[in-house]
């Protein structure tokens, strides 16, 4: 990777996109085979991969809007990474089409005979019906795409010269955008994931998914920044202090995810209502019990103690391991939500899971890197950029 230190523009993006697209292409071939070999398995695996990258992209959108609303300085040098993550959202509508065209093979409530024989499904049919599901999905992507385009256009316009009008525009977009984000993210979680078992509900399920989304996005930001460091790019711009702040944010949202997960579980356990407890009982049967315990320890206990020390949040190697691990745990979390809802619900990992993830991961990483390297690596027109660059004086290499 080659870049211009004066303009922060990339002249040679390297081979990241090429490798990523190649992986995505191989995964796509395998996914097409899987579609004919085991269609139900493929569609559920595709749902896991789709929600994995959609939640991460939503986490990137949240990071960008939070940055503008809080008037943060330290995160200016990381803004373009987050913007490139959120820029995936419009493209994720295309893998969503695969799910929209096959709803009847994923969601039980789409079966008219099942609805007719089930009084609870009949009561929910005004909301859980295919046409309204299509409309809601279109609304979600319309909102996310609009916010993404508006924020990116303003950001790129700022590169040509900052004005107070542009600065105010970020706030005017992000303030109502954060409200729209909260509503659409919550209902998307209800539609795509919670309605897999239409008899079960949790009022904080959307917040639980949101917490995992931010953890995933922060992990990607950490890994992207560390990849740049390994390539000798922005080593004096993204310093140990910036990694420390990222580590603190990651630590905070790991705790927030655990708080939401425990609150949801505790209230259902305490209420002990069969219609609610059945969701957890399915995930405590057979091998799913091991996955449930893996989430407890892998998504919270282990990363909590690893990130707790001051030094670990300033250690690039430790942060890389933790960020990579949290991405894996985010995938496990979504897998744990989706796969027990299949017919039978047995724990049965398949090569199809990897094919679906390889497809969307390759295409997502390739698109992310293409977007990121097609613009200045930092917002060169941001008036807070110089402060962000010099906020932490010592570059990360001096702490190795």
Contacts of 96 (CB under 8 A, 6+ apart): 50, 54, 137, 141
Which two tokens mark 282? 């399915």
Question: Residue 393: how many CB atoms within 10 A of its CB?
Answer: 11
* C-alpha span between 366 and 355 (Å, rounded): 16
Per-residue pLDDT of the chain (400 residues; tens, 9 = 90+): 898 888 999 999 999 999 999 999 999 999 999 999 999 999 999 999 999 999 999 999 999 999 999 999 999 999 999 999 999 999 999 999 999 999 999 999 999 998 999 999 999 999 999 999 999 999 999 999 999 999 999 999 999 888 889 889 999 999 999 999 999 999 999 999 999 999 999 999 999 999 999 999 999 999 999 999 999 999 989 999 999 999 999 999 999 999 999 999 999 999 898 888 999 999 999 999 999 999 999 999 999 999 999 999 999 999 999 999 999 999 999 999 999 998 888 999 999 999 999 999 999 999 999 999 999 999 999 999 988 888 775 544 444 4
Contacting residues for 112 by C-beta, under 8 A, at least 6 apart:
none
Strand partners, 2: 12
Predicted model pTM: 0.95
- E-strand ranges in the chain read 2-3, 10-12
- pLDDT tens per residue, range 1-46: 898 888 999 999 999 999 999 999 999 999 999 999 999 999 999 9
Backbone φ and ψ for 345, nearest 5 degrees, come out as: 70, 15
The rounded Cα 100 to chain-centroid distance in angstroms is 20
Contact between 233 and 395 (Cβ < 8 Å):
no
Domain boundaries, given as residue ranges, for the chain: 7-393
Q: Would you call 70 helix, strand, or coil by DSSP?
A: helix
């Amino acid at each position: 990777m080659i870049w211009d230190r004066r303009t922060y523009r990339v002249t040679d993006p390297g081979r990241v996109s090429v490798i990523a697209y190649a992986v995505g292409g191989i995964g796509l071939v395998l996914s097409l085979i899987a579609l004919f070999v085991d269609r139900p398995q493929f569609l559920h695996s595709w749902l896991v991969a789709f929600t994995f990258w959609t939640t991460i992209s939503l986490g990137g959108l949240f990071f960008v809007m939070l940055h503008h609303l809080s008037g943060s300085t330290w995160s200016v040098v990381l803004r373009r990474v987050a913007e490139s993550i959120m820029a995936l959202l419009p493209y994720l509508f295309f893998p969503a089409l695969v799910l929209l065209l096959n709803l009847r093979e994923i969601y039980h409530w789409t079966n008219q005979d099942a609805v007719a024989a089930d009084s609870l499904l009949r009561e929910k049919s005004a909301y859980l019906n295919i046409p309204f599901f299509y409309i809601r999905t279109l609304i979600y992507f319309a909102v996310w795409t609009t916010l993404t385009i508006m924020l990116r256009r303003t950001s790129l316009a700022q590169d040509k010269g900052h004005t107070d009008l542009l600065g105010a525009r970020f706030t005017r977009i992000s303030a109502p955008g954060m409200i729209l984000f909260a509503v659409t993210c919550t209902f998307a979680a209800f539609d795509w994931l919670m309605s897999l078992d239409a008899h079960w509900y949790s009022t904080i399920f959307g917040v639980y998914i949101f917490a995992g989304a931010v953890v995933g996005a922060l992990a990607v930001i950490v890994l992207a920044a560390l990849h740049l460091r390994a390539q000798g790019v922005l080593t004096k711009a993204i310093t140990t202090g910036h990694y420390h702040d990222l580590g603190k944010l990651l630590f905070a949202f790991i705790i927030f995810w655990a708080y939401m997960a425990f609150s949801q579980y505790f209230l259902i356990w305490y209420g002990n209502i069969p219609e609610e407890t059945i969701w957890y009982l399915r995930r405590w049967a057979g091998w799913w019990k091991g996955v449930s315990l893996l989430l407890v320890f892998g998504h919270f206990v282990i990363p909590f103690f690893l990130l707790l020390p001051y030094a670990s949040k300033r250690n690039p190697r430790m942060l890389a391991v933790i960020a990579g691990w949290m991405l894996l745990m985010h995938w496990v979390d979504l897998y744990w939500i989706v796969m027990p809802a299949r017919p039978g619900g047995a724990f049965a990992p398949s090569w199809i899971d990897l094919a679906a993830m390889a497809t969307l991961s390759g295409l997502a990483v390739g698109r992310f890197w293409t977007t990121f390297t097609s613009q200045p690596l930092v917002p060169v027109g941001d008036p807070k950029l110089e402060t962000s660059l010099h906020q932490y004086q010592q570059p990360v290499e001096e702490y190795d």
